[in-house]
Structure 1
Amino acid sequence: MSLQRPFRFGVNMFVAGSRREWSAKCRRAEELGFDVVGVADHLEFPAPFPSIMLAAEATERVRLTTFVLNTPFYNPALLARDVASTDRFVDGRLELGLGAGYVKAEFDTAEIPFPSGGRRVDQLEQTVTTLRRLFADTDWQPRPAQPSGPPLLIAGWGDRLLRLAAAQADVIAFPGGWANTAGDELHLAGIAQVEERVGYVRGLLGDRADAVELNLMVQQVIPPSERTTLPDRFAPLPPDAEHGPEEAPSVLVGTPADMAQQIRERRERFGFTYFTVMEYNMENFAPVIAALR
């Protein structure tokens, strides 16, 4: 396992506010040292591509990503047009994050059938194949700013999705746990579970292992003053869980120095070098970035 890849840090935005508020938050993320500003894709959140365009106007350095698109909502060819246009208008700063979708209530609200998990992965694979084909066709318009299209992140947990990610993705993102059938409750993954999933992916990557970036979605950043609230933030752990939530790889607990050490340990043990936090953890995580730079 190579440890030479530098760290990258992202923040996922999802609170709309006004145009001025959105722009200010994106500028603040850049000032705090984040490398990537992401926009989540849920129906109650801002639409990803307009939000990314506004983030690009407000910033100069950060990469911009959809983290992640609910792929079954999108026609692949129309999505390719939106991706290529956005990439061109943000001067090639776009990274494209895709997922299979997991919240049944959102499909119901959109009046879109909620397929089985396997069918949703099939739809994701069809989308990836279409995007790769169109971006490789030099006669296809509009052309993205990045010649082969934006770097592709695929996020998920199950075997079929991770097989697709190992074959196609530039970045593989692990959510740090799995959702229940309705997608409204997160179950944290423990150390052994994350280790098994990463090992599964590395076995599939083979010679590509050092070329693919591994991302971990950090579910919570808990300063010392909030440590006692940790058990109330997640679904109950199974009775046979070996550790409490504070031991979950997707949870950071302690001072900035403590968390920086936890980040280093996650890189050494699992190979994660790209870490994404939620918007509500942006300020708490900024000192950790400073401690690692």
Structure 2
Amino acid sequence: MTGDFRFGVNMVVPGSRAAWVEKCRKVEDLGYDVLSAADHLGLAPPFPALVLAGEVTSRVKLNTFVLNTPFYNPVLLARDVTGTDQFTDGRLELGLGAGYVKEEFEAAGMPFPSARERVDHLERTVLALKRRYADPDHRPAPVRPGGPPLLLAGRGDRVLTLAAEHADIIGFTGTAKTPDGAPLAVAAVEEIDERVAFVRAKLGARASAVEFNLACQVVKLTNDRAAGLAELHRLMGARLTPEQLGEVPTVFVGTPAQIADQIRGHRERFGFTYFTVFEMSLDEFAPVLEELR
């Protein structure tokens, strides 16, 4: 861990075995705490990718960030989860989501369920996994009796309510509310405040035992933060002003010291202690880790 924080990298660039091994070692060498495999068509298959990552690293946790759960049969998923957990010596963290990319369902020849149906399947999966973990006859068995730590990620009321009940880690997307299947947009800071408050109300006595994660969409190192935010606003065509972009915890712009201060502020305001950046920011974010040590 870096101080009171954990930092992960979500790997989203497919490539050869040699390239994957090199990147995984780099994640660990740079001081990140978690190496994640995204679950989208066209990317590396999450479980084999994490097993290979486990073979060539020794310290980082290994996370699915996050599985498109409607693609998976819960019983077969339990086998893959517990097998991967065994093969990585208990370093697996299981991230699950309800799925949101309509085009991927179409490419897989699957109907795109409604949001309600996708969350229903997510809930059935969580409960089925817990039953399998608790079954002494289930093989392969998880390394820990309760199974690997569970991260549930999303922004809707039902997903976050499910996360408040069952998750060890709650993943906040930092995206605005949009029509089902529509492109994602950056949420304003007030929207994130509201989502965090919603979860805290649901957690109750579990609040101190649950970790808050946030997926960071942009990392830009610059000595001129104002100019960097203005350029980002222009490139993104964002619905938020540059000043508003500077407030949201999914956007890191500035010097390493300025970004480290932003992260500390987000911990105080929202309770975020676990941040995940995309693979494209692997090198650019590394000086921030040094700043926080």
Please state which band the TM-score falls in when normalised by the shorter chain: over 0.9
Partner of 1:59: 57
**Deviation at 1:144?**
1.4
Partner of 1:29: 27
> What amino acid maps onto 1:254 in structure 2?
G
C-alpha separation in 1, matches of 2:245 and 2:77: 38
Output the aligned Cα RMSD. 1.7
C-alpha separation in 1, matches of 2:180 and 2:162: 23
SS of the equivalent of 2:246 reads helix
User: Once the two structures are superposed, what CA deviation does each residue of 1:45-72 show, in whole Å capped at 9, x if it has no partner?
Assistant: 1110011011111100000000000000
User: Once the two structures are superposed, what CA deviation does each residue of 1:237-288 show, in whole Å capped at 9, x if it has no partner?
Assistant: 16xx795323222101100000000000000000000000000001111111
Judge conservation of contact 1:105–1:182 (CA < 8 Å) in 2: no
Deviating above 6 A after TM superposition, structure 1's stretches of 4 or more consecutive aligned residues are none
SS of the equivalent of 1:273 reads strand
Partner of 1:206: 204
C-alpha separation in 1, matches of 2:252 and 2:242: 18
> What amino acid maps onto 1:101 in structure 2?
G
Could you tell me which of 125, 128, 131 is aligned with 1:130?
128
Partner of 1:229: 231
With normalisation by structure 1, the TM-score equals: 0.94
Listed as ranges, the matches of 1:58-207 within 5 Å are: 58-178=56-176, 180-181=178-179, 183=181, 185-207=183-205
Bigger CA drift: 126-135 or 283-292? Answer: 283-292
**Deviation at 1:21?**
0.6
With normalisation by structure 2, the TM-score equals: 0.94
Aligned length: 287
Structure 2 CA distance for partners of 1:91 and 1:229, relative to 1, 3 Å: same
Bigger CA drift: 188-197 or 121-130? Answer: 188-197
Listed as ranges, the matches of 1:262-273 within 5 Å are: 262-273=262-273
Could you tell me which of 212, 215, 228 is aligned with 2:213?
215
C-alpha separation in 2, matches of 1:65 and 1:141: 21
Structure 2 CA distance for partners of 1:20 and 1:171, relative to 1, 3 Å: same
Identical-pair percentage: 55
User: Once the two structures are superposed, what CA deviation does each residue of 1:194-226 show, in whole Å capped at 9, x if it has no partner?
Assistant: 111000000000000010000011110011178
User: Once the two structures are superposed, what CA deviation does each residue of 1:57-114 show, in whole Å capped at 9, x if it has no partner?
Assistant: 1100000000000000000000000000000000000000000000000000001111
Structure 2 CA distance for partners of 1:230 and 1:63, relative to 1, 3 Å: same
Unaligned runs of 5+ in 1: none
SS of the equivalent of 1:188 reads coil
Bigger CA drift: 225-234 or 16-25? Answer: 225-234
Structure 2 CA distance for partners of 1:286 and 1:183, relative to 1, 3 Å: farther
Task: Confirm whether residue 48 of structure 1 aligns to residue 46 of structure 2.
Answer: yes
Structure 2 CA distance for partners of 1:103 and 1:180, relative to 1, 3 Å: farther
